[in-house]
Chain A
């Protein structure tokens, strides 16, 4: 069974204080790992897809990396508007091709000014 574990559950940072969020996964062959951002009362918003170990993607202050067992979302010099819940999800190879995603429980990030 595919599993995704995110840590920490909650993270509080001061504005400008860089840090990383972790997503550990077990899957029977990784097809893709997805990062989403979710603001309170809203639906998840797509950030990145990573496909293979060693891959990195960046968007503004966010950088996602991938190894064979985990992914990190690095946040450099965060601002209060980066406050949100960050969700990680994996899609496994094989089986049906309907794109099933297994989600972690998310990390709640709060950035204080």
Chain B
């Protein structure tokens, strides 16, 4: 099993450009999450999904959109990138076996917005 994979690993955008980050998991997990990690801020939840076709806002959703058309994939979109969105983005997934389940994280995407 590959676990949680993220594409791309690195990306540089100019202000106003758009892009989509792809997260894929092969563990048949119901729950998927998108986080951003900034120095001194810890990991913050952007959006999450509790199953195929569902999405919901996390702590810092502004400027991002998500889609979960297939159970194994969770896409994070930036419609008009801003320098404040320069960050490292992590995707995570979790099984639905009850309440005590750890989240498994992908390797991250480092995004720079100029």
- Chain A residues within 8 Å of B, Cβ to Cβ: 4, 31-32, 34, 36, 41-46, 49, 51, 87, 89, 91, 97-101, 103-106
Contact = CB atoms under 8 A, between A and B. Distances in A.
Contacts of A103: 42-44
Contacts of A34: 102-103
A101 B92 CA distance: 11
A89 B105 CA distance: 14
Interface residues of B, number: 25
A70 B50 CA distance: 29
Contact of B31 (A4, A49, A98): A98
Contacts, number: 57
Contact of B90 (A43, A46, A89, A100): A43
A51 B100 contact: yes
Contact of B42 (A32, A43, A97, A105): A105
Interface string B88-109: 0010101000011111111110
Interface-central residue, B43, B48, B92, B104, by most chain A CB under 10 Å: B43
6 contacts: A32-B100, A43-B4, A46-B102, A87-B42, A98-B31, A99-B101
